[in-house]
Structure 1
């Protein structure tokens, strides 16, 4: 199947419920037989068989089906599949497989915790996750975080970051973005443009107003606000952010604007940067492929090919190796010619 066929197929299904309506590369397996999958996994993990069998099973299911396999594995064998995987796998391959076996919310909670663990903070990961998840996803992440780590995500963010970056992350975490109404409110567009462009008494911008507008307005509305900003001031919204803000707050605002403008392109850029030059940012590569595999990875592949003149598949193929490469390529799914 060509990339165009995949995109059109997914778009055709977009008005239907369930995972088939996504632009993800991973779809529900049509002839799902969890008992058979449990048997295959147990045989390989017990007898140290071919790891490719485990990879094929896990990447051949969507997350809901993987959760059913985990449940059945526990019920029939009185064993924890994740623990058995950890014993049999190691390194980046283990991280991918274990990540795929977690629910999306539990996986995001894990990545957020890791971003704040120990000395130093991975601000880019915090900004990426909180800027790109839906209101519903953010609520699920908070619940999983509290259950897994026995503390509030809000509390950890507050203790690990500083203002005004903290306020931006906490406001994003509340998941208050309005839904798209389908109605273009030209009055509100003009009002928001003026708010973003006005300087205060000390010739400075108002952090709180920027946070409110960028975290609560619908993304379609904000794209129109950005267009008006450019036409009226001859300055891109990104340039205004660079001029008026500093540090982690500036970087996070730029991430948020990039996601609002074009999320697939944002993730395509992140993937390219993870693999360019010497060395690979495997954490970012794994996180994005796992988290977008049932969301919009087909669209990310299109954006990647269009901007960089090569396919995401071929980039992964040349930048990784072994069973780890095999797993990532199965998540990517296909070459884009």
Structure 2
């Protein structure tokens, strides 16, 4: 386990191939036969490609009896356009159905519109230049979209504008109205739609903080949510985990590593701590 948690995903794929060539056995199947429970799930996640891992997580989220928006939005809103495209291709290959079709069958209303728009991966790329005229247009459009039957405006702006642009929209909206855009979301929407828009707002404003909040919540129950801990620590380990750790300690006054040490028990504890990498002084 120490080897797998201290290698990049690309290196782990190379290890799998080398193991296959030398032993004529599949490393993943060999480890699955020897492991069980949360530790087995961690090993599977470590040895899958990033696209395979996300495709499976997305499928599980959409097909489980519980609400789908949390995990689905996390994956669709925080992955790069190229990675998301690969993930959706793997989804179709593995499950013989387009992810969009499952989204349509398992969700409804504005939540469905948001997830479908995010799945298209058409968010503008940041060119390095902020169009402040468009910022003002979007602010005015959102102010007018506080009335019923204007959900499409929220979906378009939240899913098609680049994050740098949206941060300016959020700031300008607060200057114009005297309150944060999230307050309007809370007053204007309810249920799944409200939760999805608030989560998306968190991603837009500060993605590492969004993940820090999710990790903290996963550690609050009597029994930690190991699936959330595993998914975030593995998926962000090669992107922004250091920033997530910094935001975690800044907001909660305790390092992520120490929080994991205190809350996590069992055979997967050392693996999760290794994925976290280390203490933040």
Q: TM-score range by the shorter chain?
A: over 0.9
**Is residue 305–residue 312 contact of structure 1 (8 Å, CA) maintained in 2?**
yes
CA displacement 1:156-195 (0-9 Å, x = unmatched) = 1111111121111000000011111111211001000001
Deviation at 1:86, TM superposition (A): 0.8
Deviation at 1:149, TM superposition (A): 1.3
The reply to whether residue 294 of structure 1 matches residue 211 of structure 2 is no
The reply to whether residue 319 of structure 1 matches residue 260 of structure 2 is no
Deviation at 1:118, TM superposition (A): 4.4
For 1:248, the equivalent position in structure 2 comes to 192
The reply to whether residue 193 of structure 1 matches residue 139 of structure 2 is yes
Question: Aligned pair count?
Answer: 281
> 1:181 pairs with 123, 127, 132, which one?
127
**Is residue 185–residue 197 contact of structure 2 (8 Å, CA) maintained in 1?**
yes
> 1:138 pairs with 84, 91, 96, which one?
84
**Is residue 205–residue 244 contact of structure 1 (8 Å, CA) maintained in 2?**
no
**Residue 220 and residue 62 in structure 1: after superposition, are their counterparts in 2 closer, same or farther (change >3 A)?**
same
Q: Distance in 2 between matches of 1:180 and 1:326?
A: 39
> 2:2 pairs with 39, 45, 56, which one?
56
Q: Distance in 1 between matches of 2:24 and 2:94?
A: 21
Q: How does 1:42-121 map to 2 (within 5 A)?
A: 55-121=1-67
Q: Give the TM-score taking structure 2 as reference length.
A: 0.96
For 1:273, the equivalent position in structure 2 comes to 217
Q: Distance in 2 between matches of 1:75 and 1:279?
A: 40
The reply to whether residue 328 of structure 1 matches residue 272 of structure 2 is yes
Q: Distance in 1 between matches of 2:66 and 2:144?
A: 35
**Is residue 121–residue 160 contact of structure 1 (8 Å, CA) maintained in 2?**
no
For 1:239, the equivalent position in structure 2 comes to 183
Query: Cα RMSD between the aligned structures?
Result: 1.3
Q: Distance in 1 between matches of 2:38 and 2:45?
A: 10
Deviation at 1:321, TM superposition (A): 2.4
Q: State the SS of the aligned residue for 1:211.
A: helix
Q: Distance in 1 between matches of 2:267 and 2:273?
A: 10
Q: Distance in 2 between matches of 1:199 and 1:114?
A: 33
Q: State the SS of the aligned residue for 1:159.
A: helix
> 2:166 pairs with 214, 222, 231, which one?
222
Q: Give the TM-score taking structure 1 as reference length.
A: 0.81
**Residue 57 and residue 172 in structure 1: after superposition, are their counterparts in 2 closer, same or farther (change >3 A)?**
same
For 1:4, the equivalent position in structure 2 comes to none
The reply to whether residue 156 of structure 1 matches residue 102 of structure 2 is yes
CA displacement 1:277-316 (0-9 Å, x = unmatched) = 4221111111111111111100000000100111000000
CA displacement 1:42-101 (0-9 Å, x = unmatched) = xxxxxxxxxxxxx11101210001111112222222211111111111111111111011
> Structure 2, unaligned stretches of length 5 or more?
none
**Is residue 142–residue 152 contact of structure 1 (8 Å, CA) maintained in 2?**
yes
Q: Distance in 1 between matches of 2:53 and 2:22?
A: 25
Deviation at 1:199, TM superposition (A): 4.0
**Residue 120 and residue 270 in structure 1: after superposition, are their counterparts in 2 closer, same or farther (change >3 A)?**
closer
Q: Distance in 1 between matches of 2:274 and 2:65?
A: 34
